[in-house]
Amino acid sequence: MKTKYIFIIVGFLSLMLSFSCDKTEQKPTEENGIEEILSLEEVDVTSESDKMGSGTLILLIVAAIILGPGLIFFFYYFIPIGLWYEARLSGIKVSWLTLIVMRWQQVPQTLILKTLIKAKNARLPLDAKELADHYLAEVDIEKVVSTLIRAINANIEIPLKDMAAQYLARVDVEKVIHALITARNADLDISLKTLASQYLAEVDVEQVVSALITAHNSGYEEMTINDLKEHYLANGDVTKTVDAFVSARKADLPDFSFKDIAAIDLAGIDVEKAVDAAITPRVVETDGVTGIARDGVQLTMKLKITLRAYIKSIIGGASEETVLARVNESLASEIGNSESHHHILRSPYELAERVEEKGLGKGTAFEIISIDVSDIQVGRDVGAELISERAKAQAEMAKADMIKAEETVQKAMASAFLDGNLSIHDYQEMMNTEADTRMRESIGKSANRGKKRKSSDDDKND
């Protein structure tokens, strides 16, 4: 820096010296008198002119020797002649004074001139002083101008000062302009300020614009960029939500809005699967439900249920498991209310219709479209088993009564022996009579069996 100032001082002194030399010309004075004047007039004109010419030449040589290094340094340091000439060839006029001011302000002249040439070739008129002022304001000139060129190529005119202002506001101008170009190509009327404000609110403007284009291209122009901004700021998945909304609209699902779809996404539910369940009905099968008809026969049935999700009830509505539990309970009840298992086997779908008519999907997130019988299995005859068990119980009770009666007789006989009312001879006769009776009964049963066998043999022979 000291060398720079030294050369400047030398150049200034050289200029002063040349100015003073120009003032020192030989003039007649009053002290020389009239004689001197007369003598000067008599001097040969040719010799006088030669002296003057040689003096001027010497003065020019001295001035060149003194001023030359200063001028060379001046042009070398303050004015990049080669780059300035290159700019002139490109049709860019930048004065030397402007370049000198840039050097004093420590603005990189090469950056400004190269940027001007680049902008000129892209048909973007810019001013060197304006670029220098923005550079001093800490604007990234290269980035801003390159972004402006992209905008110009997309037929979007944005003043340099507006773009520089957005850059100074910490807006990613490249990202915002890309989103703006994408929106304009899709005929969406969105301003630079709108996108810049959303970017400053930490919204992914490219994602939001892309989702908005998807909605508008699908025919749903009532959706606005503010709707998507609010959903994004609520930590929603804008892309998946818009895709699900478009799918639901194309499927003509009834009675829903974008806010309903957005609420499903914000509730932590997979919005695409939820809408798909509303568009495409799902078939689920119950486990085997066992019931006993009124005739005592046990039946085990399975039902196939066709369910379709209802968008407005997905949040807060009961789940699929609740629907299945209600169907299982209703099926067991209907089996129990049937007069006989034969009726169910003849008309199983009547039972399924009775279950469906009960409106078991009310209060859940699903609508029951249909209920069909999948499988029926006949189990135990519980009524017959109960009758058999009852007969066995009665036989056991009769046997117990007989044993009790025998005990009573034995007690009475023992009492008769003790009292002397029954002798041993009487007891023996009673036992012989009882044995004779049992023998006759046995012979009678054997004869009956023989007759039956003979009749059956005769039937076979016939």
pLDDT tens across 131-188, in order? 888 898 899 989 999 999 999 888 888 898 999 999 999 999 999 999 999 999 988 8
Q: CA 288, 291, 293: angle at the middle one, nearest 5?
A: 140
pLDDT tens across 311-368, in order? 877 776 767 788 888 888 888 888 778 777 777 777 777 877 878 777 777 777 777 8
Confidence of residue 39 (pLDDT cuts 50, 70, 90): very low
Mean of the per-residue pLDDT values of the chain: 75
Average pLDDT over residues 101-110: 82
pLDDT of 268 over the 60 cut:
yes
**pLDDT of amino acid 210:** 93
pLDDT of 3 over the 50 cut:
no
At 283, phi and psi to the nearest 5? Answer: -105, 125
pLDDT tens across 276-293, in order? 888 888 888 888 887 777
For residue 212, count other CB atoms closer than 10 A to its CB: 25
User: What are the residue ranges spanned by the domains of the chain?
Assistant: 2-35+48-78, 169-280, 282-383
Confidence of residue 429 (pLDDT cuts 50, 70, 90): low
pLDDT tens across 358-398, in order? 777 777 777 788 888 877 777 665 555 566 566 666 666 76
Cα gap 256→311, rounded to integer Å: 7
pLDDT of 35 over the 50 cut:
no
Burial of 381 (0-12, 13-18, 19+ CB in 10 A): middle
Fold of 282-383: Tetrahydropterin Synthase; Chain A (3.30.479)
Confidence of residue 10 (pLDDT cuts 50, 70, 90): very low
**pLDDT of amino acid 228:** 92
Q: Residue 205 in contact with residue 195, Cβ under 8 Å?
A: yes
**pLDDT of amino acid 11:** 47
Cα gap 355→63, rounded to integer Å: 117
* β-strand partners of 309: 366
Most confident residue range from 374-378, 421-425, 444-448: 374-378
Confidence of residue 233 (pLDDT cuts 50, 70, 90): very high
